[in-house]
Chain A
């Protein structure tokens, strides 16, 4: 490593440690920011010599990265950005902090995938899904798929692990012309509850039809590829046809899909699924997601839901129990709450529903129209006392989730 990069790495680690010691955060961004100021190529220098997997998509990045890190850990130490800091500053911090590791698994914000691929020269890129998310500042879904597609075609040697159930992902992986060398793709099926961003073929504009798990374009050859890895019952079927029971501490079918993805990525490094499955079961919560805390006799479980697709998954995971919903619209959340109308809250009918957060009134209007009775509370702790002892499910979007996590002493 060049001297400048060594200095930058050292300063970056010190800054991150200072940030944590000062209680200013988990240090996962500031260290990388300072390091990159000293050496703009620091991420490339830190990545050099490691076998790297990148994980990107709208939903499930943080959890899938955590599960993949556990699976690849069979082979040796793995560097990872486990706090969800998924832009180049976060990657730089994570690699600087980890020191020399043979492997790294990094979660990457969808928008930054091209530059992080350029900087880190990954062996594997996992592509989970694309759906509407914070459209006031994020790219629209078709534009994001186009960005991925034009990036991937320039890197035909990267192994791709991609979701066969998402037409936008499949299109992004398909080379724009038959002249291009087809990429090495391992397809997984993780299921997709959300279909509202893929009714129209991104290739030709015709309709996409669906029947069961199959989907196909009526106007061109784009269709669901045959997956190599898939969820079956409470386990995962691998490409050899062997079935592996998966016992996770994380709820919901969506996490079984994330586990299948993690095993598929780890297999690209030579990890056998039989060696990795027990490690997946050791993952309890991920940066507060799925964390359970007991407070005043209430067993509080935290579920993060940032966009329509992830709200549908959260309703699937949540128990039939009193439920607090909290919505903010600060910078990290996106300022626009329109997506509330893309979510059907009807599954909550019959449960005791409480609402809070900066934008609780947006939620109130939405629930009234959805005919879901609710009670508005000013503060998180008011919700805890408003429900009987037992399970309280908390579903919140990004900063609302962090606020509640802070009230619970930054539970992980």
Chain B
């Protein structure tokens, strides 16, 4: 950790906050505070400089225009590249996941991404909307991913990243894999408050940020009930 407290930055809520993206910031802060960690949260608007010394950076979802604009401003700012190079955690969701790659499509044109993850995105034949589930890369040691996806893009992974999960329901990157990770950078199509249904993934990000091998367990009975209910709902439809 960079300072006395865990510093979490929410990048450009004015551009990249389509639907409940604030949730990931609230969930990480809540789970850290429940372990007695002091937390500082920062919401950095797109006309402000990005601090380079925070522990976790969150990039949320957005419409095409804001996504392209957000990528441009992040590249001009350069702060996220420096933070990632210094070992900060970066968590991207949906449009925020796409813009961590080499390129993505917005408003019908190819846009340059931040090139932090070895992947690129193009347009799918149809929009992927609905429940998303998958078995997470065993090296990450977290239980199955569950979420809701809503995106028109398809993402193609290069050799330098690993898929976050193998899809069991929904589309994710391409119907086979979902999300990607490398080092302490992680992205997913599970949109909005993705961590609400995946508390173990939230704790993985906290462990990466703090270097802690283990975190004291929390009472996760409500998130577990939610996960079980979603799992049953998906199974009932198949």
Contacts and interface: CB of A to CB of B under 8 A. Distances in A.
Nearest to A199: B14
Interface in A124-161: 132, 135-137, 140, 142-143
Nearest to A141: B63
The B interface is mostly helix, strand or loop, or mixed, namely: mixed
B226 interface: yes
Contacts of A220: none
B163 interface: no
B21 to A, nearest CB: 7
A399 B99 CA distance: 36
B121 to A, nearest CB: 18
B19 A339 contact: yes
Nearest to B193: A341
Contacts of A368: 30, 222
B150 A364 contact: no
Contacts of B23: 338, 340-341, 366, 369
Interface in B37-59: 45-47
A195 to B, nearest CB: 10
Contacts of B129: 136-137, 335
Interface string A362-387: 10111011100000000000000000
B222 A135 contact: no
Given A140-B63, A361-B225, A362-B226, A338 B19 contact: yes
A140 B20 contact: no
B75 interface: no
Interface string A328-369: 000000011111111000000000000000000110111011
B20 A341 contact: yes
A341 B15 contact: no
A4 to B, nearest CB: 38
Contacts of A335: 129-131, 148
A365 B18 contact: no
Interface residues of A, number: 28
A268 interface: no
Given A338-B20, A341-B26, A342-B20, A205 B14 contact: no
Nearest to A340: B20
B65 A135 contact: no
B30 A342 contact: no
A361 B18 contact: no
A364 B222 contact: yes
A171 to B, nearest CB: 13
B30 A369 contact: yes
Contacts of A142: 63, 65
Contacts of A136: 129-130, 148, 150
B196 A140 contact: no
Interface of A: 132, 135-137, 140, 142-143, 196, 199-200, 205, 207, 335-342, 361-362, 364-366, 368-370
23 contacts: A132-B18, A135-B18, A137-B129, A143-B63, A199-B15, A200-B69, A207-B47, A335-B130, A335-B131, A338-B20, A341-B20, A341-B22, A341-B23, A341-B26, A342-B22, A361-B222, A361-B229, A364-B225, A365-B197, A365-B222, A365-B223, A366-B23, A368-B222
